[in-house]
Amino acid sequence: MDGSKGKMLGSTEDASSGSTQSGGATSAHERVCYCGRPMIVRTAHTDQNYGRRFVSCENWKIKRECGFFEWLDPKMCEHGRRVVSRLKKWHDSLKEEAKQCQTMVEVEVEKVKGSMEVELSQYRKDIEIGQIKLQAMKKNYQTIIVCSWIFFAMYLFFLEYYNKCPYGRTIGRMTLP
């Protein structure tokens, strides 16, 4: 059939088993298929028709209702199919290479992350040791200050005792002026 309803190109196997639905407004969306449903623009993904667009019934893939199907793009020549096939293979190999690179990057990131965690753990231990040493030094300084105050108090006591001593100014065998 031809005209506004499109033409039937045989069975649905003429397209491909792999296709994607295309967005955007086209003249296909304004038309309806034999069963009255809107037509959908799709893109074939097979070696024979890779990238070739077609319109079909909403139910085309599940093979229900009318089975309407129509190519939008003309059939590609043999050279074009070979070029597209090579480009697709190249694209697929680039995707695989990108996936391998991503895996390698993820492995390297995990290695770096692991080494950073080890370094961080070491820094935390160093900080803890530093805090323990600081506490010990603080305790030592407190002890020194307390001892110095005790010594100073004893000095003041003996100085006062010396000034009030009734026996003169002798302490032991020393005579003080």
pLDDT of residue 6: 38
pLDDT of residue 126: 95
The residue-averaged pLDDT of 138-142 equals 94
Across the chain, mean pLDDT equals 78
Identify the band that residue 15 occupies on the pLDDT scale cut at 50, 70 and 90. very low
User: pLDDT tens for residues 49-68?
Assistant: 888 898 888 776 676 667 77
Examine the pLDDT at 175 and tell me if it is beyond 70.
Answer: no
User: pLDDT tens for residues 104-139?
Assistant: 999 999 999 999 999 999 999 999 999 999 999 999
Three state DSSP letters for the chain: CCCCCCCCCCCHHHCCCCEEECCCCCHHHHCECCCCCEEEEEEECCCCCCCCEEEEECCCCCCCCCCCEEECCCCCCHHHHHHHHHHHHHHHHHHHHHHHHHHHHHHHHHHHHHHHHHHHHHHHHHHHHHHHHHHHHHHHHHHHHHHHHHHHHHHHHHHHHHHHCCCCCEECCEECC
pLDDT of residue 168: 54
